[in-house]
Amino acid sequence: MDRMLYDIEQVVPHRGAMRLVDRLLDWDDDRAVVEVTVPLDGMFHDDEGVPAWVGVEYMAQAIAAWAGCQARARGEAPKIGFLLGTRRYSAGTGFFAPGMVLRVEVQCELFGDNGLGSFACRILHGGETLASANVSVYQPADALAYLRNEGTT
């Protein structure tokens, strides 16, 4: 499989202010690593920085980057996916400080032909784990049909 380090815009479908991850650092068949520079301002920012609960979305977008890399390597465009939920989200901090550079690692534990997946995720800063969770996702074959409730998967 092609191991090209794609520009983040090529593998994550989020655009504008909703794309929270900045760079793809690495990926392979089972994992991806992205980088986030915590913004100085923005929609999730408050006086103390970005609340740690936003880390769940950092993890979800790292999973989107993994899925986008898989698609690009097959010669396909990235597909839209959905965050189904998290289990055991644990954060050692209440906020990510502005300017902090975070490393978000996701490890695929299961990804079925039906589009359901489970990932072990963690957010690190300077080698220290700041947050971790298990994240469940769904990537239907046709996301627009799924959203229209046409029953396709």
**CATH (domain of 29):** 3.10.129.10
Pair of tokens at residue 70: 């898989």
**20 within some domain:** yes
**1 within some domain:** no
**152 within some domain:** no
Greater model confidence, 142 or 122:
122
**3 within some domain:** no
Report the SS3 class of residue 103.
strand
Number of other CB atoms surrounding residue 143 within 10 Å: 17
Q: Is the pLDDT confidence value at 1 over 80?
A: no
d(CA 124, CA 104): 6
pLDDT digits (tens, 9 = 90+) for 87-116: 999 999 999 999 999 999 999 999 999 999
pLDDT of residue 150: 67
Report the SS3 class of residue 62.
helix
Give me the number of domains the chain comprises: 1
**110 within some domain:** yes
**15 within some domain:** yes
What average pLDDT score do residues 125-133 get? 97
Residue 34's identity, in one-letter code, is V
**42 within some domain:** yes
Which pTM value belongs to this model?
0.92
**73 within some domain:** yes
Expressed as residue numbers, the domain containing 30 is 8-147
